[in-house]
Amino acid sequence: MKILLVGASGCIGSAVAAELSVRHELITAGRTSGDVTMDLSDKDTIEAAYKEVGSLDAVVCAAGNVTFKPLAEMTAADYAVGLNDKLMGQVNLVLIGRKFVADGGSFTLTGGVLDDDPIVEGTSASMVNGALNAFALSASIELERDLRVNVVSPGVITEALEDYAPYFRGFEPVPAARAALAYAKSVEGKRTGQVFRVS
Amino acid sequence: MKILLVGASGCIGSAVAAELSVRHELITAGRTSGDVTMDLSDKDTIEAAYKEVGSLDAVVCAAGNVTFKPLAEMTAADYAVGLNDKLMGQVNLVLIGRKFVADGGSFTLTGGVLDDDPIVEGTSASMVNGALNAFALSASIELERDLRVNVVSPGVITEALEDYAPYFRGFEPVPAARAALAYAKSVEGKRTGQVFRVS
């Protein structure tokens, strides 16, 4: 398959690349690096990247920004970061990508454990993850040409603990390579409308 | 209790008013009618309404707009309607209302069944409802002074079937008075971070 991997240089993205590249042709995308560049919060850059890449069999997104901050300090502008980037960036990957992905192809988005196992300072991430899960389920019943959409929802990644450990005390970390299996299941399997939880 | 009821003139709101008004003092709010007016999509009007009302024991919101349209026709601007109004309008009711609600007081928001039982043309509603559920869960662990936040998630309301029946074939309708009980449970009980599903 020819697969567009957004966020290929990140912690999860590089593990997904390692998992998928042995069997598939990967086109990597990132904000500043990769075969093509795109900014998830700017849909014009998403459209431009798709046009540059041409037809595809699958799209995987392992990128998306949200703001972590105490609820008491969160403003509508702070929530807008996550809504515009991690949520609508990934939704726009589906809306725009529908025209570029072959029959039976798939979109695999990244959510996270916080929608049902929240942490302090994580309300924006929780909100965005809950929105993504419900979007994938509902979009899956409307996508044409057997197109599929799933969300992978990983727990805190072992390789990212250096940055995130204080926020995720008591969470069992997930090696990135283990999370990457769920992306392969989504891309190479046939299920749709699923949240593949890896935690 | 002194309770601010947003969307008091709507189908669910009027049933909530009937349920709560026999035991509590209600301050009604709506876009164009009520004791105070507010536009959920404009946080300045939310702040102005709170200032006009003063201290409160509970806030109930039974309002919020989303766009219903086939996925193939949905644009980022269509999703923005639901994100700005039903989602962030209700989130802003919590963020701003924290300063006006008494210790132990509650926020009761309205979601809906579509986050886990989707319909065609409902991707925006699904997304927003999933976001609200996860927000309430995560915000509940950070709210100070024993403040509480819950979501009521009703199915299609019997009294609204005239408009919505074609979209909700096979869904068992919920009388508005039955949905209203869940709002009373949220306001007059002590639970927090819950999604009270009435379907």
**Hey, which residues does A23 pair with through a beta bridge?**
none
**Three-class DSSP labels, chain A:** CEEEEECCCCHHHHHHHHHHHCCCEEEEEECCCCCEECCCCCHHHHHHHHHHHCCEEEEEECCCCCCCCCHHHCCHHHHHHHHHHHHHHHHHHHHHHCCCEEEEEEEEEECCHHHCCCCCCCHHHHHHHHHHHHHHHHHHCCCCCCCEEEEEEECCEHHHHHHHHHHCCCCCCECHHHHHHHHHHHHHCCCCCCEEEEC
Look at residue B163 in the predicted model and tell me its pLDDT.
87
C-alpha dist (Å) from residue B110 to A54, A138, B51, B59, B107: 42, 19, 23, 11, 10
Q: Per-residue pLDDT for A69 more than 90? A: yes
Q: What is the mean pLDDT of residues B101-123?
A: 98
From B71, B116, B134, residue closest to A139, measured CB to CB: B71
From B118, B120, B142, residue closest to A137, measured CB to CB: B118
What CATH number corresponds to the domain at position A119?
3.40.50.720
Q: Which residues of B touch A133 (CB under 8 A)?
A: 115, 130
C-alpha closest to that of A28 among A48, A55, A51, A10: A10
CA distance B136 to chain A (A): 8
Q: Which residues of B touch A (CB under 8 A)?
A: 43, 70-72, 74-76, 79, 83, 87-88, 91-92, 95, 98, 114-116, 118-123, 125-135, 137-139, 141-144
Q: What is the mean pLDDT of residues A81-100?
A: 98
- Alpha-carbon distance of A191 to A168, in angstroms, equals 30
Look at residue B31 in the predicted model and tell me its pLDDT.
96
Percent helix, strand, coil in chain B, to 5, is 45, 20, 35
pLDDT in tens, B68-96: 999 999 999 999 999 999 999 999 999 99
Split at pLDDT 50, 70, 90, the class of B55 is very high
Q: What domain range includes position B144? A: 2-198
Task: With CB atoms and an 8 Å threshold, state whether A43 touches B76.
Answer: yes
- Alpha-carbon distance of B22 to B7, in angstroms, equals 18
Specify the number of domains making up chain B: 1
Which pTM value belongs to this model? 0.98
Q: Which residues of A touch B (CB under 8 A)?
A: 43, 70-72, 74-76, 79, 83, 87-88, 91-92, 95, 98, 114-116, 118-123, 125-135, 137-139, 141-144
pLDDT in tens, A125-158: 999 999 999 999 999 999 999 999 999 999 999 9
Q: Per-residue pLDDT for A163 more than 90? A: no
Look at residue B90 in the predicted model and tell me its pLDDT.
98
From B70, B83, B142, residue closest to A123, measured CB to CB: B142
CA distance B119 to chain A (A): 7
Q: Which residue of A has its CA nearest to B96?
A: A75
